[in-house]
Chains A and B, each alone.
Chain A
Amino acid sequence: MKLVSRRTFLKTAATTAAAAAVAPGLSRDWLGLAYAGTKGYFESEFGITDSLCQKVLAKALSKGGDFADLYFEHSISNYVVLEDGKVNQAYSDVALGVGIRTVKGDQVGYGFTQELDENAMLAAASTAATIADSKGKGVPAKFASLKLEDYYPLKSPLTLVPLESKLPLVQSINDKCFALSPLVIKVNAGFQDQQKRTLVVTSDGEKAEDLLPRVILYANVVAEKNGRRERAGWNLGGRRDFSYYTPAVVEEVAKTAVDRAVVLFDAVQPPAGEMPVVLGPGLTGILLHEAIGHGMEADFNRKNVSTYCTMIGKQVAEPFVTIIDDGTIPNLSGSLNVDDEGTPGQKTVLVDKGILSSYMHDKISARHYKVKPTGNGRRQNYQHYVQPRMRNTYMLPGSATPEDVIKSVDKGIYVQDVANGQVKIGEGDFAFYVSQGWMVENGKLTNPIKDINIMGNGPKMLRNVTMVANDLQMHRGGGGTCGKGGQGVPVGFGMPTTLVKSMTVGGVKA
């Protein structure tokens, strides 16, 4: 699992990587300021008034431009770690700042500051303004608050959860993992939480506030058998509060991690070459993310660099294939009440019954294509400008049963877990890494397999989807992070059991 560093900004081919954001535990006294109600948080805590926003936006548009926006962020992240049987490490991070963007056509000027005083903000706005070179534009004096749905209601803010409550949660994961199998020799476990408050104020006269929670509870297990070691892990989380972690959830994390480590002792290497691939339900949605998702992000299409840029309205898959990117599913990692440039959360059908139907837009591409933005304008934090990004991407269920799908394969592989993937936008070639799966022989799952990369081509793969089962599962992990242009954002995945009739499996036997 890798995060994409800013130094990869030149590699505009998008990459994803499931990785975990660092977060962790400050006590309640110091975090008093973070309890304030969502509405008016930045005004009450930092003096961010409409008139101040008006001044800063006026500066950002002082040399012209189509529009400008301000993105305020205050994030508190905590991370407690268990190693060698004890919760003996804690990390935390506080991030506060505002990013200021001026947009002219498809050109972007951007500045940010970590100081929320007028002078610092005006200086950052001056930087953003340099992208334009004409006459200044007026901005509204008042900003209307957007009415938003709440896709991640919280019983209690994460900043109210004391460290004392997190420690036994993580300790219990460790104890359960060891109790589940005598083969377990090491357990790493941890709990991460992040509470991110945002305020977007736009020169169109709108403002939107949000409080985005994110939690992850994970276990990584090393098992040993006859001198051989194997490792596997699991996590559950998303945009949730602490009450999600019932004993049953803790048990599920521990059991899944241990089961997945222990089965690897029987794993074999599959042969190399082209063969049918069955995608199990849930996390294998990473394949959609790579094979079609990135190529449907509108920035790659308005620049004509995506393999999908001429395919809108065309049939790209069988009529039983529908693929959706959705910010409205409660509590998933990629869900958004509002995106990072003030467009309310929504869902976007990318492939509708086999027909390519819509790209994922931010405001820049929406203007380019003369359509409404789809709520996909996202950024890692206030230090970055918005790009079109995925949220939760999944395929709708079909009519087959999972058993039918497996039965239809004489010789191939079944993919259970996918660790990461990457795509080349222009060619559509993609890869995803199978951390765990099974051989399929004569319609049955036989030996487990592991650590294999699978290669494919997006448009070709879509045409090769020949069966879709009725068992759509959304992955409930909290760690899915997609990297693009040096920015990581949380995303979700979902998939029903699906047959792709041919892909290249990177085994070791010729």
Chain B
Amino acid sequence: MNKEMLDLAASSIKAAKSAGADDCRVQISRERFVEISYRERKPETIKEASSRGLFIEIFANGRYSGQSTSDLRKEPLQAFISNAVATTKLLAEDPFRSLPDPKYYAGRAQLDLQILDPSYAQLTPEARHSIVKTMEDSCLSLGGDKVISVTAEQYDSYRESVMLSSNGFEGYRESTEYQVGASMSARDEGDRRPMGYYYAGAVSRKTMPRPEEIGALAAKRTLSLFGGKKIQTETLPIIVENQNVPRLLGAFLQAMSGRSIQQKQSFLSDKKGQKVGSDQFTLIDDPLLAGGLGSRLYDSDGFAAKERTMVESGVLNDFYVDWYYGRKLGWEPTTGRSSNLIIPPGKRSVEEIMKDLGRGIYITGFIGGNSNSTTGDSSIGIFGQLFEKGEPVQAIAEMNIADNHLKFWNKLAEVGNDPWVYSSQRSPSLVFTDVVVSGV
């Protein structure tokens, strides 16, 4: 626990109450990070800094506001908080705004989430440069004479935060994070210069892929884009590569939020307990996963975190409902936002599944696109590989898939055995059948 941060949070609460707040909640965070990128075997950018911030939520006379500042000097902060309270009192009353019932704070898991890398302080500038150089070398070497440009990057940070509320919540979190990756641009036919990349994130260095592997994957993925073109519009099975699944899930998650439901902007609002996908579709929210990028012991309401199966064999079990929207809906709150999202892996590899499907499209990236969380309608650009007789035969580009989420997840036919663990959303590759793929 950082006593200085905790004391500042406590004095901020005191200042808010003296200024007339009935209740308040304060979050203070600070971060130190380093970013290094290399191109043409020399540093392209080196960036390093510390930042800090305070966010205070004021509950006064049945009214609510949230205010943030990076100026934590004593006098400006006092003035800032007094002003925040005065501002809050000018707003319309909202009977649903309050701090949560403290019973939801209780039962916090007593475990080490393993989100702080004990070796972080030993990461030297030389080690950082060496990681980035290795990624660059590996990518350049595999890319060979096709390479136009390779950029390799590393970001690492140490972050700590406290949260304190006037009705008894106290939380502290200390974590580290690493993001590394490489991108390669290569010379294809005509004016096409495909760019591909590979990146990975983790809370500790020991769980990261080796830098050589990252560089090589960036090169391999770029070379796989060569000759990309669109094919005839047709209905085909598709395989969505594991690391691209979060983009697909985004709109579905948005429709699961209490706010979307209460504001009548969710295609899932009346679907609790109903089938919204095939039997293959299971989605678990696990905040207590050891070493997860989304791991936490409490959420932004202070609720003690626990594992939830949000979708089970296609049945929608739960929503993301925070304290405020829970009160507005008259529902029992759960948690306001996702933590680590897990789709349990299946038994077969992508290669085996491809062989079985015969002909289809393996999607290795999305472009553009959007989803309407009110209706579930969705349309998104794709690129990847056309496969025939189980083997990739042609890179595809400038193509698109469109569907309604309520229909689309029913087309989920199989889940691969390859969960991608370098994100807070850990999904294996997913197989959907009978998807209209637009092209020529």
Binding site for B on A (CB under 8 A): 6-7, 9-13, 24-27, 29-30, 80, 83-84, 86-97, 106-114, 124, 127, 130-131, 163-164, 167, 185-186, 188, 222, 224, 229-231, 269, 272-274, 290, 303-307, 309-311, 383, 385, 419-433, 435, 450-457, 459, 504-510
Contacts and interface: CB of A to CB of B under 8 A. Distances in A.
Nearest to A302: B149
A49 B68 CA distance: 28
A111 B381 contact: no
Contact of B264 (A185, A453, A507): A185
A81 to B, nearest CB: 10
Contact of A9 (B97, B155, B377): B155
Interface of B: 35, 39, 42-52, 63-71, 79-80, 82-84, 86-88, 90-94, 97, 148-149, 151, 153, 155, 179, 181-183, 185-186, 188, 191-195, 197, 199, 201, 225, 228, 230, 233-235, 263-265, 328, 367-372, 374-375, 377-381, 383, 397-403, 436, 438-440
Given A89-B91, A303-B149, A427-B195, 19 more contacts: A10-B181, A89-B64, A92-B65, A94-B68, A106-B44, A107-B42, A107-B43, A185-B264, A273-B439, A273-B440, A274-B439, A307-B193, A424-B194, A429-B367, A429-B398, A451-B370, A453-B381, A453-B402, A506-B380
Given A94-B69, A422-B368, A310 B191 contact: yes
A12 B87 contact: no
A432 B380 CA distance: 9
Nearest to B92: A86
Given A88-B63, A110-B45, A429-B397, A510 B235 contact: yes
Contacts of B201: 7
A428 B192 contact: yes
Given A7-B179, A131-B46, A224-B264, A427 B192 contact: yes
A25 B43 contact: no
Which 5 pairs, one residue from A and one from B, show the smallest C-beta to C-beta distance?
A431-B368, A506-B400, A426-B193, A272-B438, A10-B181
A279 B186 CA distance: 32
A106 B90 CA distance: 51
Nearest to B373: A231
B194 A10 contact: no
B263 A426 contact: no
B64 A88 contact: yes
Nearest to B199: A10
Nearest to B365: A424
Contacts, number: 297
Given A27-B87, A426-B193, A419 B370 contact: yes
17 contacts: A7-B179, A7-B201, A11-B199, A30-B82, A87-B92, A94-B70, A109-B45, A110-B48, A167-B92, A272-B400, A426-B192, A427-B225, A428-B192, A431-B369, A433-B370, A453-B381, A507-B402
Contact of B383 (A25, A89, A421, A429): A429
Contact of B149 (A88, A111, A305): A305
Contacts of B97: 88
Contacts of B402: 269, 272, 451-453, 506-508
B409 to A, nearest CB: 15
A450 B402 CA distance: 12
A203 to B, nearest CB: 18
A111 B47 contact: yes
Contacts of B194: 424, 426-427
B401 A95 contact: no
Of the candidates A80, A88, A188, A452, the one having the most CB atoms from chain B within 10 angstroms of its own CB is A88
A385 B191 CA distance: 30
B92 A96 contact: no
A94 B375 contact: no
Contacts of B42: 107
B91 A422 contact: no
A429 B92 CA distance: 48
B301 to A, nearest CB: 16
A22 B66 CA distance: 12
Interface centre among B68, B179, B235, B402 (most CB of A within 10 A): B402
B193 A504 contact: no
Interface centre among B90, B368, B372, B381 (most CB of A within 10 A): B368
B95 to A, nearest CB: 10
Nearest to B88: A90
A127 B48 contact: yes
A466 to B, nearest CB: 19
Contacts of A453: 368-370, 379-381, 400, 402
Given A25-B87, A110-B46, A186 B263 contact: yes
A343 B318 CA distance: 53
A430 B368 contact: yes
A445 to B, nearest CB: 20
Contacts of B151: 12
A426 to B, nearest CB: 4
Contact of A455 (B69, B90, B381): B381
A131 B43 contact: yes
